[in-house]
Structure 1
Amino acid sequence: MRGVGRRNFLRAAVVGTGATAFAGGLWQSAFAGPAQPGAGPYGPLGPVDANGLRLPQGFVSRVVARSMQEVADTGYMWHAAPDGGACFPDGDGWIYVSNSEVPLVGGVSAVRFAADGTILDAYRTLSMTQINCAGGATPWGTWLSCEEYDYGCVYETDPYGKNAARKRPALGRFKHEAAACDPDRKVVYLTEDRSDGCFYRFVPSTWGDLSSGTLEVLVGSGPGKVRWERVPQPQRWLTPTRDQVPGAMRFTGGEGCHYGDGVCYFTTKGDNRVWSYDAANEVLGIAYDDDLVEGGAATLKGVDNITGTPGGDLYIAEDGDDMQINLITPEGVVAPFLQIEGHPDSEITGPAFSPDGRRLYFSSQRGSSGVILGNGGVTYEVSGPFRS
Structure 2
Amino acid sequence: MSPRRPVPRRSFLRVGGAAVATLILPFSLIFSRKAPRGTAGRFGPLAPDPAGILDLPAGFTYRILERTGGDMDDGYRVPGRPDGMGCFPGPDGTVILLRNHENGPADTSIGPYKRGQRAPAEAYDPASMGGVTRLVLDATTFERRSSNLVLAGTNRNCAGGLSPWGWLTCEENVDARHGYVFVCPATASRVAPPQRVTGYGRFYHEAAVVDPATNIAYLTEDRTDGCFYRFKPADPAAPFQGKLQALCVVGARGVDTSDWSQGDRREIAWVDVDDPDPRDDTIRKEARARGAAVFRRSEGICLAPGAVYFCATTGGPVGAGQVFQVVPRGDGGTLEVVAHASDRDALDMPDNITVAPWGELFLVEDGPLGNFVRVLTLDGQVFDFAHNARSLGEFAGVCFSPDGRALFLNMQEDGLTLAVTGPFPGTAGPGGARASAPAPGAG
| TM-score between both structures, scaled by the size of structure 2 | 0.74
Separation (CA, whole Å) in 2 of partners of 1:28 and 1:250 = 24
**Paired residue for 2:386, among 323, 332, 338?**
338
State whether residues 170 and 210 of structure 1, in contact with CA within 8 Å, keep that contact through their aligned partners in structure 2.
no
Quickly say closer, same or farther: Cα 1:164–1:29, change in 2 above 3 A.
closer
For the residue of structure 2 that corresponds to 1:127, the secondary structure is: strand
Structure 1 unaligned runs (5+)? 1-23, 368-376
State whether residues 74 and 120 of structure 1, in contact with CA within 8 Å, keep that contact through their aligned partners in structure 2.
no
Identity of aligned residues (%): 34
State whether residues 195 and 252 of structure 1, in contact with CA within 8 Å, keep that contact through their aligned partners in structure 2.
yes
1:111 aligns with 2:111: no
State whether residues 156 and 172 of structure 2, in contact with CA within 8 Å, keep that contact through their aligned partners in structure 1.
yes
Quickly say closer, same or farther: Cα 1:121–1:238, change in 2 above 3 A.
closer
168-177 vs 329-338, which moves further: 329-338
Match of 1:13 in 2: none
Residue 27 of structure 1, CA deviation: 4.2
311-320 vs 218-227, which moves further: 218-227
Match of 1:144 in 2: 168
Match of 1:46 in 2: 47
Which of the pair is proportionally richer in strand?
Answer: 1
Structure 1 segment 97-136 matched on structure 2, within 5 A: 97-103=98-104, 104-115=128-139, 116-136=141-161
For the residue of structure 1 that corresponds to 2:48, the secondary structure is: strand
Quickly say closer, same or farther: Cα 1:78–1:86, change in 2 above 3 A.
same
Match of 2:117 in 1: none
State whether residues 179 and 190 of structure 1, in contact with CA within 8 Å, keep that contact through their aligned partners in structure 2.
yes
Residue 34 of structure 1, CA deviation: 4.8
1:381 aligns with 2:419: yes
Separation (CA, whole Å) in 2 of partners of 1:81 and 1:61 = 19
For the residue of structure 2 that corresponds to 1:244, the secondary structure is: helix
1:94-127 CA-to-partner distances (Å, cap 9, x unmatched) read 0111101011120100110123322111001100
What is the CA RMSD across the aligned residues, in angstroms? 2.2
**Paired residue for 1:329, among 357, 374, 377?**
377
170-179 vs 262-271, which moves further: 262-271
Quickly say closer, same or farther: Cα 1:279–1:190, change in 2 above 3 A.
same
Match of 1:312 in 2: 359
Separation (CA, whole Å) in 2 of partners of 1:382 and 1:102 = 25
Separation (CA, whole Å) in 2 of partners of 1:32 and 1:68 = 43
1:270 aligns with 2:314: yes
Residue 47 of structure 1, CA deviation: 1.8
Match of 1:56 in 2: 57
List 4+ stretches of structure 1 deviating above 6 A. Answer: none
1:289 aligns with 2:313: no
Which amino acid is the alignment partner of residue 161 of structure 2?
A: G
State whether residues 125 and 161 of structure 1, in contact with CA within 8 Å, keep that contact through their aligned partners in structure 2.
yes
**Paired residue for 2:407, among 332, 337, 360?**
360
1:232 aligns with 2:274: yes
Match of 1:156 in 2: 183
1:187 aligns with 2:216: yes
| TM-score between both structures, scaled by the size of structure 1 | 0.84
Quickly say closer, same or farther: Cα 1:238–1:106, change in 2 above 3 A.
closer
1:157-183 CA-to-partner distances (Å, cap 9, x unmatched) read 112215533011110000000012222
Separation (CA, whole Å) in 2 of partners of 1:48 and 1:311 = 27
**Paired residue for 2:195, among 146, 166, 169?**
166
Which amino acid is the alignment partner of residue 80 of structure 2?
A: A
Separation (CA, whole Å) in 2 of partners of 1:63 and 1:70 = 14
State whether residues 180 and 189 of structure 1, in contact with CA within 8 Å, keep that contact through their aligned partners in structure 2.
yes
Residue 205 of structure 1, CA deviation: 3.4
43-52 vs 195-204, which moves further: 43-52
State whether residues 51 and 62 of structure 1, in contact with CA within 8 Å, keep that contact through their aligned partners in structure 2.
no
Quickly say closer, same or farther: Cα 1:283–1:93, change in 2 above 3 A.
same
Separation (CA, whole Å) in 2 of partners of 1:74 and 1:50 = 30
State whether residues 43 and 56 of structure 1, in contact with CA within 8 Å, keep that contact through their aligned partners in structure 2.
yes
1:250-273 CA-to-partner distances (Å, cap 9, x unmatched) read 111111001101111100111211
State whether residues 52 and 389 of structure 2, in contact with CA within 8 Å, keep that contact through their aligned partners in structure 1.
no
For the residue of structure 2 that corresponds to 1:218, the secondary structure is: strand
Quickly say closer, same or farther: Cα 1:234–1:304, change in 2 above 3 A.
same
1:320-343 CA-to-partner distances (Å, cap 9, x unmatched) read 432110011123311010001131
State whether residues 147 and 153 of structure 1, in contact with CA within 8 Å, keep that contact through their aligned partners in structure 2.
yes
Separation (CA, whole Å) in 2 of partners of 1:155 and 1:290 = 32
Structure 2 unaligned runs (5+)? 1-21, 105-127, 258-264, 316-320, 427-443
Match of 2:295 in 1: 251
State whether residues 49 and 389 of structure 2, in contact with CA within 8 Å, keep that contact through their aligned partners in structure 1.
yes
Quickly say closer, same or farther: Cα 1:264–1:210, change in 2 above 3 A.
same
Number of matched pairs: 349
Match of 2:26 in 1: 28
State whether residues 143 and 159 of structure 1, in contact with CA within 8 Å, keep that contact through their aligned partners in structure 2.
yes
For the residue of structure 1 that corresponds to 2:202, the secondary structure is: coil
